[in-house]
Amino acid sequence: MRLSPRAMAMSWAIFLSSATLLDEQRPILQPSLVEKVNSNPHSKWKADMNWRFANSTVEDFKRLLGAIMDDGQEKKHVRSHPRGLKLPLSFDSRDAWPQCTSLRTILDQGHCGSCWAFGAVESLSDRFCIHFNESVILSENDLLSCCGFECGMGCGGGMPLSAWWYLVRNGVVTTECLPYFDSKGCQHPGCEPLYPTPECVQQCTDNSDWNSAKYFAANAYNLGSDPYDIMAEVYTNGPVEVAFNVYEDFAHYKSGVYHYVYGDFLGGHAVKLIGWGTTDEGVDYWILANSWNQQWGQDGYFWIERGVNECGIESNAVAGMPAGRIQLADQ
């Protein structure tokens, strides 16, 4: 029996859908991809079979990419910096503010697409130490569970700038008050599928006062896409949150200066940008802290090419200043 054009089109759509589902069940880590990256004479980085994603499928990996990008939209609240600031050729927040232990801590978002919350809360924690000499680790769980549709979809993804505006209006408590719900993270091969977004329960687990445990951002803003503006912001105020497009090869990053080499687009990811530098070969790069634990990349950190808007990273930088605690007590 000969199918009608409509029936043929429907059959083809079903086939493509099934093929996509089957394709997403394959392992995210591919030895052939590692070989393609490492044998490419133009590659500036090295790939490896990162233990963090052992037994993870493409579908599992995509669930961690929770940054909802706003590429193409006109940005508001954009902060730029005067060009008179003399910036160093290299800069690392970990060395600039050695008293801030949060700058040397790599976290694990576990099985949840909460990178957007981690990037915001980690950066704000760092800035409280930098500007007020207050060592505090703020709760990603508070932002993730309580921001709701204002930020996005919880473990299903969120918008970095919206997260910062939530920090302005509502603040977040400390991790002592409200630890991250997925406390075990992904410490073993074959992590479980995506967890549902935790319920917003405004009560400290250590019996401390919820309102007293709150820390706020004073403002929220985009940064200009000119690398100078991002560098000046980090140099002056501390780490910022950035989001970028992720492809299959990024899961395999081990060392060097990442740039796209091979693989399909999988989603958007948010991380913390802490500095910059240049290799001996003259390749400019950004220094970033990921939230996939220390078993990935350079002990949890990675470099990505700077000055070329690699994977859109320079188009999606956001930040905010910490609000003084005395001011809040008077409100």
Q: What CATH number is attached to the domain comprising 38?
A: 3.90.70.10
User: Nearest-CA neighbor of 127 among 246, 13, 273?
Assistant: 273
pLDDT at site 189: 43
**Is the distance from CB of 197 to CB of 154 less than 8 angstroms?**
yes
pLDDT at site 72: 54
pLDDT tens across 135-161, in order? 999 999 999 999 999 999 999 999 999
The region, left, alpha or beta by phi > 0 then psi within -120 to 50, assigned to residue 154 is: left
Residue 40 within a domain: yes
Residues 6+ apart with CB under 8 A from 97: 103, 126, 129, 130, 238
The overall average pLDDT reported for the chain is 90
Residue 23 within a domain: no
Neighbours of 229 (CB within 10 A): 19
Mean pLDDT of 313-320: 98
The continuous run of DSSP H or E covering 45 comes out as strand 45-47
Residue 94 within a domain: yes
Q: Helices in the chain by DSSP H: which ranges?
A: 5-24, 31-39, 58-63, 93-96, 115-132, 140-146, 160-169, 227-237, 325-329
Distance separating alpha carbons of residues 113 and 197, to the nearest angstrom: 9
Residue 159 within a domain: yes
pLDDT tens across 212-258, in order? 999 999 999 999 999 999 999 999 999 999 999 999 999 999 999 99
Torsion angles phi and psi, residue 164, rounded to 5:
-65, -35
Mapping DSSP to helix (H, G, I), strand (E, B) and coil, where does residue 298 land?
A: strand
Question: What are the percentages of helix, strand and coil residues in the chain, rounded to 5?
Answer: 35, 20, 45
Q: Domain span at residue 220?
A: 30-329
pLDDT at site 183: 59
Which range among 6-10, 191-195, 246-250 shows the weakest confidence by mean pLDDT? 6-10
Residue 193 within a domain: yes
More confident residue, 92 or 181: 92
pLDDT at site 194: 57
Residue 149 within a domain: yes
pLDDT band at 74 (very low <50, low <70, confident <90, very high): low
pLDDT at site 190: 42
pLDDT at site 23: 87
In the predicted structure, residue 187 carries a pLDDT above the cut 70: no
**Is the distance from CB of 251 to CB of 258 less than 8 angstroms?**
no
Q: Which residues are catalytic?
A: 115, 269, 290
pLDDT at site 328: 42
Residue 268 within a domain: yes
pTM of the predicted structure, to 2 decimals: 0.89
Residue 25 within a domain: no
Instruction: Count the domains in the chain.
Output: 1
